Amino acid sequence: MKLIKKALLFILGITALINGYSAGFPKPTFTASYSTKTAPKAGDVIEIIIKFNVAKGFHVYSEKSDCPEDDGPIRASIDFDKNPSFELIGKIKGIGDHMVKETEVWNCSTGEFTYKGEFRQKIRVLSSINGIKMLFNGQICNESGCENIRDAAITLGSLAVLGKMDVQIAPPDETMTEEPSAVDDSNQVAPITANNETPDYLKAEKLTSVKTFDGKQSKETSEGMMGLFILAFLSGLTALLTPCVFPMIPMTVSFFIKNKNRKLALRDSFVFSISIIALYTVVGTIVAFAFGANAANWLSTHWLPNVFFTVIFVVFAASFFGAFEITLPSWIVNKVDQQADKGGLTGAVFMAVTIALVSFSCTGPIVGTVLVEAVHGGASRPIVAMFGFSLAFALPFGLLALFPSWLNNLPKSGGWLNSVKVVLGFVELAFAMKFLSIPDQTYHWGILDREIYLAVWIVIFSLLGLYLLGKIQFDHDSPTKKLSVFRLSLVILVFTFVAYMIPGMFGAPLKGLAGYLPPMSTQDFRMDRSAESSAGLCESPKYSNLLHSPHGISSYYDYDQALACAREQKKPLFIDFTGHGCVNCRKMEEKVWSDPEVLKLLKDKYIVVSLYVDDKKIKLPKNEQYNSKSSGKTITTLGEKNAELEEYYFGKSTQPLYCLLDANEELLQPAYGADYFEFKVAPFKQFLEDGITRYNSKKN
């Protein structure tokens, strides 16, 4: 029992490390001063010095980094409030930070402040300064995790200046096509460019709190943990039916029940089952620790991980088809097996490890599939996924040890086990197309349009049906002499699915696959096309050449443009925070938005704006680019801008998120995601109607 306790304590300890930072890290304290002791003259250049401390064992990431611009930790930054009494000279400098090679997390070098740090910013004084306000943004971390520091206020007192200097600052050049040259450390005045201007709706004075409805902030919706657990559990049961695992079940159970002492046999069986669960859960914990919640968006939308997952799934499929086996070095398996032969509690634990290693060629791809699905979410999802998988995987060993007579009812091993592997291979190929489709949409590659995607799936599942009929065979397959009732049932299901997909080639909505197919707007040939137009809008929507709304809804894709139109037409604003790779977004659009009454409300009563948070291609105009309050980097894409807007205004980062605003940008109803509506028309329709009622009552 001590061994079991140690394993459980280890899992809980790692989980605590992952979630421990939620309790709050010690925040740095800041002091600010001027570099001059006497009153300077108007036109003099002086420095503002900001010093801060960092608690022992912690560090704050600095601007120094050789990480790519869109990768790496959040770097410390300080933003100055506009002040006509001075102007900034050059960029702010960090002093006292040192470079650290981050190989385990970022795989690049980053700058870090430890114990204390300092920033210096040169300014040209124009007249007496009546105080300076600054905001610090960054990230404080230790070995257990990180916590973001958002808009920490820094104030500096007044400064008397001899004389006054009137300076004319030219407005930004709208026609500028090149980035302004970097300003050196000389006394030259830094050109003021539009990409340093934070949009009005993201300015500090508007970000003191997240928007609320009747004083209450909307709660986060579920991340579908139960659905993930069920998927993982079913995957664990499927892994039991592979040729690497199923023949080992009777042998392993016999290893325990041969002990004449029934209590010892049950004890060893229980330790064996708990060890399998602990082993896989530790794997999930390590994955959760390695990726965490902050990486979910990057994993979900960036081309690199999704193309990598596509390749991995194709490799898994080839392995299941029999092209090769994914195996571990034999010396590892042999050493563990020797420990299992010792018997007792230690033998039971190492027997579990042996089973996991020996069956890796079959279970590895299945575990990999579950983990890939799990990391597209919060930090706890991989742990939940591996617990569900291992529970199903260990269950038969424990039950058969309790009821040995059930062994006689197990089906005999045979060619059907290889068939299970091949079927899984076809499923892996279908999954590979899904992961390739995500970057194809977020980067607008145009490779997997809806009809191409459907054609690939139709071919894959048609080949699967022919395989189940025995018309296609692989080298390791046994000849199919007759068709069992169960196999015939699978054939009917597979070809029914193929027949269901075929009308989609001509524009059928295929609501049963909503979210798993590319959007209808990517399909070239449609028999019933609901053409999207700008009817009812104030002006032509920005970005409508690349972004589209479903069911012919007239929609904007830029928040400012939509808000201006809502004010002009005196209508409430419907905000749809969405994404190209968002499964639940497509489900809501196909199952709920398509309802005639819902469509009428959206088209007639609201100004609709669809804000894509994962778009990687659409670049903002120069005059709309700005420095992020959270990361300090320049926001250059529409997706980055929309994601920051969702986080700052509504305190959420999930998609879809539906928000109803009035002309004063106040919520008309709480902001909700898809899980709240359960993909049903009635609650969503009520949500829209309640928003209109609230809007009219406030207007009156």
Beta bridge partners of 609: 556, 575
Q: What is the pLDDT of residue 413?
A: 62
Own/partner pairs for 68-72, CB < 8 Å, 24+ apart? 68/108, 69/633, 70/633, 71/106, 71/108, 71/298, 72/106, 72/108, 72/110
Burial 327-339 (b: 16+ CB within 10 A, else e): eeeeeebeebeee
- On the question of pLDDT at 414 being above 70, the answer is no
Task: State whether 621 and 548 are in the same domain.
Answer: yes
- Range with the largest mean pLDDT of 263-272, 295-304, 568-577, 656-665: 568-577
- The pairing of strands 116-125 and 108-113 is unpaired
Q: Is residue 434 part of a domain?
A: no
Continuous segment of H or E residues that includes residue 517: none
Q: What is the pLDDT of residue 333?
A: 54
Task: State whether 240 and 187 are in the same domain.
Answer: no
Q: Is residue 550 part of a domain?
A: yes
Range of the domain at 98: 26-192
Task: State whether 231 and 375 are in the same domain.
Answer: yes
Q: What is the pLDDT of residue 35?
A: 85
Q: Is residue 310 part of a domain?
A: yes
Nearest CA-CA partner of 551 in 579, 590, 522:
590
pLDDT band at 650 (very low <50, low <70, confident <90, very high): confident
Residues sharing a CB contact under 8 Å with residue 251, sequence separation 6 or more, in sequence order: none
The answer to whether the CB of 432 falls within 8 A of the CB of 314 is: yes
Residue 418 CA to residue 321 CA, distance in Å, equals 9
Tokens of 2: 């001590």
Put residue 628 in one of left, alpha, beta given phi > 0 → left and psi -120 to 50 → alpha.
beta
Q: Count of domains in the chain?
A: 3
- On the question of pLDDT at 446 being above 60, the answer is yes
**How many CA atoms lie less than 13 Å away from 214 in the CB half-sphere?**
4
Mean pLDDT of 57-77: 77
Task: State whether 188 and 271 are in the same domain.
Answer: no
pLDDT band at 636 (very low <50, low <70, confident <90, very high): confident
Task: State whether 141 and 257 are in the same domain.
Answer: no
Residue 56 belongs to a domain with what CATH number?
2.60.40.1250
Residues sharing a CB contact under 8 Å with residue 220, sequence separation 6 or more, in sequence order: 652, 654, 673
* Radius of gyration for the alpha carbons in the chain, expressed in angstroms and rounded: 30
Q: What is the pLDDT of residue 477?
A: 78
Task: State whether 157 and 292 are in the same domain.
Answer: no
Q: Is residue 51 part of a domain?
A: yes
Residue 554 belongs to a domain with what CATH number?
3.40.30.10
Q: 278 or 72: whose pLDDT is higher?
A: 278
Q: What is the pLDDT of residue 149?
A: 83
Q: What is the pLDDT of residue 179?
A: 36
Domain final residue, candidates 149, 167, 192: 192
Mean pLDDT of 201-230: 56
The answer to whether the CB of 375 falls within 8 A of the CB of 309 is: no
Q: What angle do CA 454, 456, 460 make, to 5 degrees?
A: 115
Q: What is the pLDDT of residue 465?
A: 93
**How many CA atoms lie less than 13 Å away from 121 in the CB half-sphere?**
20
Q: What is the pLDDT of residues 493-524, one digit of tens each?
A: 999 999 999 998 888 888 788 767 887 777 77
Residues sharing a CB contact under 8 Å with residue 312, sequence separation 6 or more, in sequence order: 368, 372
Task: State whether 268 and 382 are in the same domain.
Answer: yes
Residue with structure tokens 């009156």? 700
Q: What is the pLDDT of residues 154-176, one digit of tens each?
A: 988 888 887 766 544 433 333 33
Average pLDDT, rounded, for the chain: 76
Q: What is the pLDDT of residues 602-621, one digit of tens each?
A: 999 999 999 998 888 888 88
Q: Is residue 147 part of a domain?
A: yes
The answer to whether the CB of 15 falls within 8 A of the CB of 383 is: yes
Residue 436 CA to residue 306 CA, distance in Å, equals 6
Cis bond before residue 656 (omega within 30° of 0): yes
Q: Is residue 13 part of a domain?
A: no
Q: What is the pLDDT of residues 123-149, one digit of tens each?
A: 998 888 888 999 888 888 876 667 778
- On the question of pLDDT at 539 being above 70, the answer is yes
Domain final residue, candidates 416, 445, 474: 416
Q: Is residue 104 part of a domain?
A: yes
Tell the burial category of 38 from Cβ atoms under 10 Å away from its Cβ (0-12, 13-18, 19+): exposed
Task: State whether 238 and 345 are in the same domain.
Answer: yes
The answer to whether the CB of 161 falls within 8 A of the CB of 42 is: yes
Ranges 309-323, 340-354, 397-411: which has the least confidence: 340-354
Ranges 186-195, 592-601, 651-660: which has the least confidence: 186-195
Q: Three-state SS string across 319-385, please?
A: HHHCCCCCCCCHHHHHHHHHHHCCCHHHHHHHHHHHHHHHCHHHHHHHHHHHHHHHCCCCCCHHHHH
pLDDT above 70 as % of the chain = 71
Task: State whether 272 and 331 are in the same domain.
Answer: yes
Task: State whether 144 and 280 are in the same domain.
Answer: no
Task: State whether 95 and 236 are in the same domain.
Answer: no
- On the question of pLDDT at 360 being above 80, the answer is no
Q: What is the pLDDT of residue 502?
A: 93
Nearest CA-CA partner of 14 in 214, 201, 286:
286
Domain final residue, candidates 400, 416, 432: 416
Task: State whether 187 and 243 are in the same domain.
Answer: no
- Look at residue 536 and give its three-state secondary structure: coil
Q: What angle do CA 69, 74, 76 make, to 5 degrees?
A: 105
Q: Is residue 457 part of a domain?
A: no
Q: Tally Cβ neighbours within 10 Å of residue 666.
A: 14
- The pairing of strands 573-578 and 607-612 is parallel
- The pairing of strands 116-125 and 45-53 is antiparallel
